Amino acid sequence: MVLDFTQQSHYLWALLPEVVLSLWAMLVLLVDVFQKGDRSEPSRPMIAGLTLVGIGLAAVANGWLLGVEEVGTAGVIAVDGFRVFSNYLFLLAAALFVLISGRYLEQEGILYGEIHVLVLLATVGMMVFAGSRDLMVIFLALELMSVGVYVLTGVHRRDRRSAEAALKYFLLGAFASAFFLFGVALIYGGAGSTNLSAIAERVGVDGLGASPLLLVGMALLAVGFAFKVAAVPFHMWTPDAYDGAPAPVTGFMAAGVKAAAFAAFFRVFLTAFPGLYDTWGSIAFWLAVATMIGANLIALAQGNVKRMLAYSSVAHAGYLLVAVTAATPLAASSFLFYLVVYTLMTIGAFAVVLTVARQGEQMVDLEAYSGLGWRHPLLGVAMTIFLLSLAGFPFTGGFIGKFYILRAAVDQGLVKLAIVLVLTSLLSYYYYLRVAWYMWFREAPSEDAYAGVVVAPGVRFALVAAMVGILLLGIFPGELLELAERSANIFAQAPADLMRLSGR
């Protein structure tokens, strides 16, 4: 099909995956309401199954976009490989959430159908956030995604930690949104448009002599994105929000929200501001350095596994910022590949955490993992694979992802940044392998220490799928790398001389 965005009706076709998912979210909500005798009843298991069907339908609609072409004026929503690839990533995160959350929500007494609806709508926000070509639409999508996640963070209303996490996340998120929106306003004042291509044309004419409004607006935009990707020093909300939120929500936030923010970050800055790379490239460089060093050092001191994974997520934001700093098609393809691996290993790790933690998430310290590998081999092997991949151990997807990000950085002359990435990755081995050591080389505190640990069928399926995916991508990464490379071709037109950091 050929889309002509001068015809407004064609936007419905361009937004088909988002439309399908939005309508399905409304259907899930209605079904949940009418299948209950009264409001106090928990939702039935069919709601989770219905949610997975909606995610599958959205995935089919997303695949249909591969056969679509654009003509005439470019619309405010992109129809390209980068968007399609990113959409599948968000749908994967949502599907994994549904699989791992069923038993957890039931034992915590928060089996609300609204949770699945919020996940679907937050996923819609992620899809539009990463696929838009207009800053105002990007802001609207950011808010749709964020509001849903704020509510999900505090959905365990009887848990003070969950309520505190949601409040902190909301307040800091509101400040970040204000920075982002003010940045959009200044960019409009400096460029006369919020369309990414129009901004790029203005920057291409003026270069580094662009309007001060535009430069300040770009800096404020970078602050908003830095908050969403949890880059140091804008990461303050991350440990508390991740620690206080229900574990399945934490996994969804750490994978889906971060992936969406990075995808939008990449699209906005490589599409609208390639001519100002000397300015924003330096910002991304130092954000990456501070994030990799700061997060890994703090993670070393964590005795709480859930909080350690929160700081681990911040550290991985630093690794992804290396790809943003490199800002080339190779960096974009390695960035997409790494996001897939990161989603699998992060949600997989949090699936183990929520299973071991049991009701009330009381068992989240390192001691709770003593002897786990021998008592529950599936959990022990799965967690070990996820930790090794997070650390970047050979023959895992995490190693391949870091290798290609390193290659992109070295090709762009960012040798110092590559060295920091290698050294901080080596540093992370300590806190990742410490958990594995507790699982395999420490005795369980008692014979019945893990009597209450039950691996639900959905969690089992998600763990096995994530393990297989990580190992296959570590041994046979070729096909996904080629797909990521084709999806990143939209950035191939960026002039090479604008993609280098001088004197670094």
| pLDDT tens for each residue of the chain, 504 residues long | 777 667 777 778 888 999 999 999 999 999 988 877 666 666 777 899 999 999 999 999 999 988 877 776 677 888 888 999 999 999 999 999 999 998 888 888 888 888 999 999 999 999 999 999 999 999 999 999 999 999 999 988 888 888 888 998 999 889 899 999 999 999 998 888 899 988 888 887 555 556 788 889 999 999 999 999 989 888 888 888 888 888 899 999 999 999 999 999 999 998 888 888 888 888 999 999 999 999 999 999 888 899 999 999 999 999 999 999 998 888 989 999 999 999 999 999 999 998 988 776 677 788 888 988 888 999 999 999 999 999 999 999 999 999 999 999 999 889 999 999 999 999 999 999 999 999 999 888 777 777 778 888 999 999 999 999 999 999 999 999 999 999 888 776 554 444 443 334
Q: With helix as H, strand as E and coil as C, how does 199-223 read?
A: HHHHHHHHHHHCCHHHHHHHHHHHH
Indicate left, alpha or beta for 442 from its phi (over 0: left) and psi (-120 to 50: alpha).
beta
Q: What is the pTM of this model?
A: 0.93
Neighbour tally for 106: CB within 10 Å: 14
Give the per-residue pLDDT at 364: 78
Contact in structure between 456 and 358 (CB atoms under 8 Å) = no
Contact in structure between 314 and 236 (CB atoms under 8 Å) = no
Give the per-residue pLDDT at 277: 86
CA–CA distance, 411 with 6 (Å, rounded to integer)? 40
139: tokens are 């802001």
Give the per-residue pLDDT at 502: 36
Amino acid at residue number 111: L
Bridge partners, 69 (sequence order)? 2
Give the per-residue pLDDT at 143: 93
Contact in structure between 62 and 88 (CB atoms under 8 Å) = yes
Helix (H, G, I), strand (E, B) or coil at 387: helix
Give the per-residue pLDDT at 4: 64
Helix (H, G, I), strand (E, B) or coil at 365: strand
